[in-house]
Amino acid sequence: MTRVANGKVKICLVSSSGGHWEQLQKLQPLVDKYDGFFVTEKTPFIKGNPYLMVQTDLKDGLMPLKMLVNGCRAIAIWAKERPDIVVTTGTMVAYPFYLLAVAFKKKFVFIETFGRSNEPTVAGRLMHKHADLFFVQWESQKRFYEKARYVGCLY
């Protein structure tokens, strides 16, 4: 694993806006301890200086085009920041970073959303296979994911 100039691991924290973003921000101590940066979707409610991606979801008719744009943005962010670890709470905005982490053999950590206790998410099902760590916030979520570790909630 590469280290940044100060000897610390570089962490990319990426999620969609809304509740996923709120949960991800609870990991600010990781950014404080290590060298890290945030990535989320552009909305009027985002504060601070995260990298911003195009907002999309599975029901969006323009999703393939938006994912292409987000993929290009992710590559540019990846080239600039060169993270060692990608941590996400989902959703599809994280997918390009997941693919980059797999392609570059970097650590990938997925934290299943607190908002889903009785069924798996699409993002969780897609990204579970290559996750180095896969955390769930509900004990009941463990049954959906072979590698899941119950860790309680981020709140």
What tens digit of pLDDT does each residue of 92-139 get?
899 999 999 999 999 999 999 888 888 998 889 999 999 999 999 999
**d(C-alpha 87, C-alpha 66), whole Å:** 21
The confidence band for 87, taking pLDDT boundaries of 50, 70 and 90, is very high
Domain 10-150: which CATH class?
Answer: alpha beta
**d(C-alpha 98, C-alpha 27), whole Å:** 18
Q: If DSSP codes are grouped into helix, strand and coil, which group holds residue 12?
A: strand
Query: Looking at residues 42-62, what average pLDDT do you find?
Result: 86
**d(C-alpha 50, C-alpha 93), whole Å:** 13
pLDDT (0 to 100) of residue 1: 47
> What are the sequence ranges of the domains in the chain?
10-150
Candidates 5, 14, 6; CA nearest to 106 is 14
Q: If DSSP codes are grouped into helix, strand and coil, which group holds residue 139?
A: helix
Candidates 94, 51, 96, 91; CA nearest to 71 is 96
